[in-house]
Chains A and B, each alone.
Chain A
Amino acid sequence: MSSNKKYWKSVEELNENSSIVEALKQNEFVEEIPTDEFLGNKDLGASSTTRRDFLKYVGFSTAAATLAACEGPVIKSIPYVVQPEEIIPGVANYYATTIADGYDFASVLVKTREGRPIKIQRNTLAKANGGANARVNASVLGLYDSLRVQSPRKEGSPISWEELDADVIQKLNSLKDSGKDVVLLTQTFASPSTSRLIAEFKEKYGNVRHVVYDAVSESATLDAYQAKYGERALPNYDFSKAETIVSIGADFLGNWQGGGFDSGYSKSRVPQNGKMSRHIQFESNMSLTGANADKRVPLTPSEQKMALAKLYSYVVGGSVSGSLPEAIDEAVKKAASQLKRAGSKGVVVTGIQDVNAQTVVLEINDYLNSQVFDKSTPIKSRQGSDKAVMDLISDMKAGKIGAIIMSGVNPIYTLPNASDFAEGLKNTELSVAFSMKEDETSSETQYIAAAPHYLESWGDAEIKKGHYSLTQPTIRPLFNTRQFQEALLKWTGNDMSYHDYIKDTWGTGILNGSSFNQALHDGVFVGAIATETEDTTAAIENAEMPSGDAARALAASVKPSALELTLYTKIGMGDGQQANNPWLQEFPDPITRTSWDNYLTVSKFDADALDLVNTHVSNGALNGSYANVTVNGTTLKVPVIIQPGQAKGSVGLALGYGRTAKGIKDEMKTGVNAYKLYQNFNPIQDVTVELASGEHEFACIQLQNTMAGRADIIKETTLEIFNTKDKEHWNEKEGVSYDHQEIPTSDKNADIWVGYDTSIGHHFNLSIDLNACTGCGACVIACHSENNVPVVGKREVRKFRDMHWLRIDRYYSSNDTFKEEQEDLENLGAFEPYSKVERQSYENPEVAFQPVMCQHCNHAPCETVCPVAATSHGRQGQNHMAYNRCVGTRYCANNCPYKVRRFNWFLYNENDEFDYYMNDDLGRMVLNPDVVVRSRGVMEKCSMCIQMTQKTILDAKRDGREVKDGEFQTACSAACNNGAMVFGDVNNKDSKIVEMVQDDRMYHLLESVGTKPNVMYQVKVKNTTES
């Protein structure tokens, strides 16, 4: 045992008397096969069909089916008339492009087959532009959304672009001298060409106002940065250089400031030469970042502000009024001293949306002279201004706005005061929404200008200052769409295509003589000179804020309240613009492991006080109370999840759910719209919560696959032990008993298997570094899209029939406190409440993530039990699964110690019961043609992306060369932005994977079972050293 921690996956497990946990430990498939349901049917006796008749029917239909099967269908093949030169059927083409949808900005590589984009990968040439997160990986599905608007519309009926142009231009001209404003309300484009274009548009029509609106505002940070550094941008941090990271409410491994900080963070987290960074997190909700922290301090949002002010005073000096609970104050002091010791390698970040708080952070980092804080490349992917949006709404209501043209925004969904906006919209003479969907806003406008998906568009972006990237179409537009920029070009009377316009912009301002085609090929270009971006905000008053004032102002602004709500965005759903994406809906939240929902996260303490409960029904599925959540008179009825680690006195709720628009399938209209509570663009709100009637059914896979008492599934240690003790101490290999002696599993006596000779050719291994893995889930979606994994829907997920080949297990653990609790428990009086001793576990558990897929055991238990040999071993180490051979006995799943096999309970494609992307022709275009779509009744599982390794081998064979290290990839390892997953051939002695095999931290999952897996893990090391 590496530590004396107890791990648990759900709150229910802490309850020793829970029959559910006991039942789940015993059963592989949570549900009994419901034989009683049909055998117990009393009506059967009344049926006129006798048993003999039934058998006759069966016999006849079998014979008929057999006869019918004798005739094969006629399959047509239709070749091109003129085959494009670059397309070879059966060979994938890759194009570098950029997603810039206003929320996610990333340089990506798009895999296309026969002209269809089928997969998004990260662009490894783009060093600075972050990685592709789960949403970016999933964005390809949006292209094939069957509910897209297929042509421009006027008042709901289709019109032509010419008519739209004529109407708009005529209206714009008539508004010129009316004194009313024309407003362009857009997402953040961060696009040099679009900025130039909008400036030209302004010039042509004069009275134009450009308002940038970010649904999830970073306005306070932008204001603070602009005040201090004179540029409207977000501060950039390179966490790879950090030694001490103090975060106060910043979910920087999630969506904070547009995300993309995780790859740098992970670099500093892997212990090298006995050193790794230390990460201290102060937060209210249990976020992905808090889950990864070495030390997590739960505190309410108002305490966060105070803690930040105190931190300032402890680090920089000066004093602030106000006080903190002693334990927290102690933690802040320790954090401060560690920061000071780290000096320029320390950094503070915060997610508090308050100009003072952000200013304080900038000042602390300045004071520390932090190298982590990268001033040369501020982030441009958020430009919005709360004030400008507020002004716009009041102007619209006052009838001062003549025309509004929107692109990439959905204010009626995302604004808290959406009704004001809708009212204002009616006062405008012209309203146009560029939208892919008939969404909440576009269905209220006069015109819907059908917009293309980013994979059908041209574009450019300057995501970080000086780091440019290009968007290019990877498919001909599927529908009669036109992008916003093309329309602006038309409306300004410019005959250029947007493609030429971008070329022109880049040629004059950016490329500085470099080749445009090269930049297009790479997708990214690092420029020497930064372009001027358009200033869209009113100048910030009192630009100079003297040092210390901000901290004092911050401390003074603290108004504690009984219960504070923190609105956050999930790593899966983000701001909700991809709500119609079934991959993202089914993507389980890394922390709560709940899919298809948002919910109020409540601490155990508050839940008890408010009578809110979570219960598990007999099959282990989770139910929760509803609560009425009221902010400033707005009430939402929200289901409740009791979240370990949630700070007492705080609750959390995710934005991005509760879509109601026509352009969203009914199945995806999940959750509640928390934007209604996002008042004044402040994610922190005073709130009252009370129990409401009813019980909500969650699709939570939390309790499934318990550890069944095997405590060393996940191995953790501390940096101190890691540095000072032998590896046998912290990475103990479980042995097996032989002749009453414990022998290691590598001993030949421990083994009754006839081994496979894997020494010749390739032998694939996958290493997963638990230190580098943040649990972000990009790999889950990448696996989904590479391997045609079906979406099963909320009802089925609730029955634990999710099909994810790769899951990321989340374990809570309680360290030393747990021992004490156990002792307390032993001394506990018979009638005293159990909750008395378990509190610590709820209050602040540690969290660990562990991606688990098929472990590809060399001694695979599944292979030996298959009666039809459908699963078998390959010499390259992969555990093969021949779907066509499988008869669905599910013995293999029962015998798998890792519970990674997935059974197709239904036909998930072309089945109206599962009306997701695989049920329509458009959605099926995303399927990977190299991987079979499984049918009902067969078992499936991770194949270690054998189609990818085989392709790599074939390419090498065709070229007549050996395979180079790094060429072998799986979808998950290629998607990992953090370098947590390393895949390779262990028979290639120079490869990185061999290093990983020999690493001291390496261990196999359930070593003592003796399965000899080809997937390995690296022990998680936490830097718990307090100073």
Chain B
Amino acid sequence: MRQVTHCRLNTSILCLGLIILLAFSTSLSAQEGDPAKGKTLFNANCAACHQLDKKMTGPALRNIEERIANDAGLGREWIYDWVHNSAGVIKSGDAYANKIYNENGQTAMTAFPQLSNADIDDILAYTAQEKPAPAVAQTTATTTTQKTDGSSISNNIILGALAILFLLLASGLYLVNKTLRRFAAAKDIELPETQRTPLWKAFAQNQFLVLVTVIFLMLASAYYVYGYMMQIGVDQGYQPVQPIHFSHKIHAGDNGIDCKYCHSSARVSKTSGIPSLNVCMNCHKSIYEYKGETSLEYTKEFYDGEIKKLYAAAGWDDAQQKYTGESQPVKWVRIHNLPDFVYFNHSQHVTVAGVECQTCHGPVQEMEVVSQFAPLTMGWCINCHRTTNVNMKDNGYYKKIHEELSKKYGVEELTEAQMGGLECGKCHY
């Protein structure tokens, strides 16, 4: 999140690394930096415009020092100057600096006077690292599956064992019965032939019992039918496939981006707003590939493909690093649908009441594919209004009302219901 913000602040940076003068990587003057520290500095300062292996706003920086040395024969001193004040270097008429400037669309790199030479050394050390081989990691997913399989198997075994036990018992009893009868026959004991009415007949003859049972069955079926009917139009758990597989888990969960960073209108408007594509592109201009955890289903290629879809929609040419102007709005499938006849205002709940998004939308930060968490029924709304205390602290609007109402109800904390939040017209107009 912090990186992202920083990105935006420094959009006009040109190549940090271009900088890097090369010179002789083996030169005596070149101090060896700390690649780990360099990585941190790189991510904090340079990553907005530079990647190691890909040209973005600025050029790719892998082995930049070596490249500069080979191309122009410039050394680390030149890189220091460039990083500290690229505009100055360009102005001074330095041929190589001007070449870089023109190659990168005449976007001057932001000056970084705060970076010491040692810092730059660290960054250069980081850029000089070899590209790591792509890791093969799929073990985690498999283990998880096995684990779940295992637990269900053990359950089945227990159940099976129990069933066998019961079968054994039943057959045991049958055998005992049979043996006893045989003994009785052998000893000529006459077993009394009782003419017992079968159970069902006895039941059918008992009118009271029939009546009670019928009533019970009717009530039970009514209960279930009612329950089923009440689910009509309730789309809890609705999890449609979206045109772009946007993972809230990666954005809000793994990367900890605040919900309202993208859904900013939730603060001020009735709708939370689906972020427009320019909001996506704020970050995805520089985030062109997925580097996080993957699974069997959601591979890196899959995620990268989804980012490509975003680029196509926003009309971003990743190779040229510019917009083509041919955009294609994304037709998201709406998950949370309130009917027309109910008015809901996000800002009332988010800004005024301070309700967490997750209260109604569930743990979105854990959802790979978002589904409707709450039933969004009126009963559900009302329940919350009945039980939730209104956040009146430090809000000038509530001062007078709070005083009067708390006197009236004799309580310090007031629920939304006590504020009049159950009235029909507050939501239906």
Contact = CB atoms under 8 A, between A and B. Distances in A.
Q: Do A and B make up one complex?
A: yes
B276 A930 contact: no
Contacts of B423: 872, 874-875, 880
A740 interface: no
Nearest to B232: A70
A559 interface: no
Nearest to B279: A83
A957 B348 contact: yes
A81 B314 contact: yes
Contact of A79 (B275, B341, B424): B275
Contact of B397 (A69, A884, A885, A960): A960
A956 B394 CA distance: 13
A69 B233 contact: yes
Contacts of A757: 408
Contact of A69 (B232, B277, B328, B347): B232
A962 B399 CA distance: 8
A892 B423 CA distance: 19
Interface in A854-874: 870, 872, 874
B314 A88 contact: no
A946 interface: yes
B185 to A, nearest CB: 61
A872 B429 CA distance: 12
B130 interface: no
A963 interface: yes
Nearest to A760: B404
A840 B123 CA distance: 102
B187 interface: no
A72 B372 CA distance: 13
B334 A77 contact: yes
Nearest to A80: B276
Contacts of B429: 880-881, 930-932, 943, 946-947, 950
A493 interface: no
Given A79-B275, A760-B401, A874 B268 contact: no
Interface string A918-934: 00000000000011110
A796 B339 CA distance: 29
Interface string B331-365: 11110010111110111100110000000000000
Interface string A239-272: 0000000000000000000000000000000000
A343 to B, nearest CB: 51
Contacts of B401: 760-761
A958 B352 CA distance: 6
Given A88-B265, A90-B269, A947-B343, A885 B420 contact: no
A971 to B, nearest CB: 13
B278 A81 contact: yes
A760 B269 contact: no
Of A82, A870, A931, which is in contact with the most chain B CB atoms at under 10 Å from its CB?
A: A82
B265 A884 contact: no
A932 B240 CA distance: 27
Nearest to A874: B423
Interface in A392-423: none
Contacts of B377: none
Chain A binding site: helix, strand, loop or mixed by DSSP?
loop
Contacts of A885: 424, 428
B347 A954 contact: yes
Given A882-B425, A882-B428, A88 B268 contact: yes
A760 B328 CA distance: 52
A88 B279 CA distance: 13
A373 B220 CA distance: 83
Interface string B105-120: 0000000000000000
Given A79-B332, A884-B428, A90 B314 contact: no
A1014 to B, nearest CB: 13
A878 B269 contact: no
A516 B339 CA distance: 44
Nearest to A72: B235
Contacts of A759: 404
A90 B343 contact: no
B277 A880 contact: no
B265 A91 contact: yes
B315 interface: yes
A538 to B, nearest CB: 55
B259 interface: no
B422 to A, nearest CB: 10
Interface string B259-281: 00000010011110111111100
A89 interface: yes
Interface in A88-127: 88-91
Interface in A950-986: 950, 953-954, 956-963
B134 interface: no
Contact of A878 (B268, B279, B399, B425): B425
Of B232, B347, B428, which is in contact with the most chain A CB atoms at under 10 Å from its CB?
A: B428
A76 interface: yes
B313 interface: yes
B420 A956 contact: no
B273 A883 contact: no
A830 interface: no
B89 interface: no
B2 interface: no
Nearest to A933: B340
A72 B315 CA distance: 33
Interface in B358-412: 394-401, 404-405, 408
A69 B233 CA distance: 7
Given A79-B276, A79-B330, A760-B404, A880 B397 contact: no
Contact of B420 (A74, A80, A876): A876
Contacts of B235: 72
Nearest to B240: A74
B359 to A, nearest CB: 18
B89 to A, nearest CB: 34
A80 B341 contact: no
Given A957-B395, A962-B400, A89 B315 contact: no
A874 B420 contact: yes
B329 interface: yes
A355 B278 CA distance: 64
Contacts of A931: 429
A78 interface: yes
Interface string B302-338: 0000000000011100000000000111111110010
Interface in A14-73: 66, 69-70, 72
A327 interface: no
A81 B327 contact: yes
A617 interface: no
B84 to A, nearest CB: 34
B182 interface: no
B426 interface: yes
Contacts of A960: 394-397
B348 to A, nearest CB: 6
B206 to A, nearest CB: 35
Contacts of B396: 959-962
Contacts of A880: 423-425, 428-429
A562 interface: no
A78 B327 contact: no
Given A91-B265, A881-B424, 11 more contacts: A70-B233, A75-B334, A80-B276, A80-B277, A88-B273, A89-B265, A870-B424, A872-B425, A884-B428, A932-B340, A954-B347
25 contacts: A69-B233, A72-B337, A76-B331, A78-B329, A79-B332, A81-B276, A81-B314, A88-B273, A90-B269, A90-B273, A760-B408, A761-B401, A761-B419, A874-B426, A878-B425, A882-B424, A883-B341, A885-B428, A931-B429, A943-B429, A946-B429, A954-B345, A957-B397, A958-B351, A960-B394
Interface of A: 66, 69-70, 72, 74-83, 88-91, 757, 759-761, 870, 872, 874-876, 878, 880-885, 930-933, 943, 946-947, 950, 953-954, 956-963
Give me the 9 closest cross-chain CB pairs, A-B, nearest first.
Answer: A880-B425, A90-B269, A83-B276, A80-B276, A90-B271, A90-B270, A79-B274, A884-B341, A81-B327
